[in-house]
Amino acid sequence: MRKKVTKAIFPVAGLGTRFLPATKAIPKEIMTLVDQPLIQYAIDEAREAGIKEFIFVTSRGKSALEDYFDNNPILEQTLRKSNKMDLLRTLRRTNMESGAIAYIRQHKALGLGHAVWCARHLIANEPFAVILPDDVIASEEACLKQMVDAYAETGGSMVAAMEVPQAKTSSYGVLDVKEDMGALVSVKGMVEKPKAEEAPSNLAVIGRYILSPSVLRTLNKKEEGAGGEIQLTDAIAKEIGGENGVYGYRFRGKRFDCGSKAGFLQATVAFAMEREDLRDELGEFLRDMMAAEQAAQ
């Protein structure tokens, strides 16, 4: 019987330099889309997918991230006394059960593959998920839940994938497709950040993975790839042709690249427009702003 995916790694050791000076004081993962930090979207998605153990690969300066998931009895008591029960329920969603969360330090920034490798002892010999909080995915059913359901049929290793313009393939890991089965594709190759004219397809890897533990054994060799870093894509590619294979999964939903300022702003507007308490006022402001811009032209 195939093992269930119950562990997830969250690589959050990056310095977030594109968001300086804000990230001088707070981890990028604590920055908020509307009123919820990036990391909460990732945790909610993992919970919906059935994840029970949450492994954070961190670095110096991430203590606020650890505090975020801790209980705050004084704040809870204040909300209870004020009868702010809705806020109390919201606050309790940020709490993690004792033993459910672990923190591993990545002392050197040697690439995504190295960050995942740092958590190897907590994964042992089980399949596991990797979630990159920078990639926020708006969908009716959580992206990782979609993948977990598909993985139950395929096994092996699986990456989330979406079509991107050919000119932008150099910014992604790109799949070389063996067989296109609709939502699922079987993979015969993976290339990390190829030149646009050399990309085998326009199907790009997005920050959601379900991986075989054998990927960790490959990462243990610490082979350098693109940019002189230990690339997760390269380790996954070594699984191709193996017993269970590698699959790409075209998820249902819209992905926002919150590692960039433009993507973060786009996500903020999109998520705010989904909120009944914000939609009308924000929509009116956006329409007025566009009308003023057009008039100025």
Q: According to the model, what pLDDT value does residue 224 have? A: 67
Whole-model pTM: value is 0.89
Confidence (pLDDT) at 129: 97
Write out the two tokens for 224: 């350098």
Q: Where are the domains of the chain?
A: 7-259, 261-297
Q: Tell me the pLDDT tens digit for each residue of 137-181.
A: 999 999 999 999 999 988 889 999 999 998 888 888 889 889 888
Q: Domain 7-259's class?
A: alpha beta
User: What long-range pairs does 256-262 form, CB within 8 A, spacing at least 24?
Assistant: 256/135, 256/136, 256/137, 256/138, 257/134, 257/135, 258/33, 258/38, 258/133, 258/134, 258/135, 258/136, 259/18, 259/28, 259/134, 259/135, 260/18, 261/18, 261/19
CA nearest 19: which of 9, 29, 34, 4? Answer: 29
Quote the pLDDT of residue 138: 94
For residue 102, what are the β-bridge partners? 55
The pLDDT value given to residue 226: 65
What percentage of residues in the chain have a pLDDT greater than 90? 42
Give pLDDT tens digits for 18-47. 888 888 888 889 999 998 999 999 999 999
* Residue type at position 41: Y
Amino acid present at 200 = P
74-92 per-position pLDDT tens digit: 888 898 888 888 888 888 8
Rg over alpha carbons for the chain, rounded to the nearest Å, is 20
pLDDT at 211: 94
One-letter amino acid for residue 108 of the chain:
K
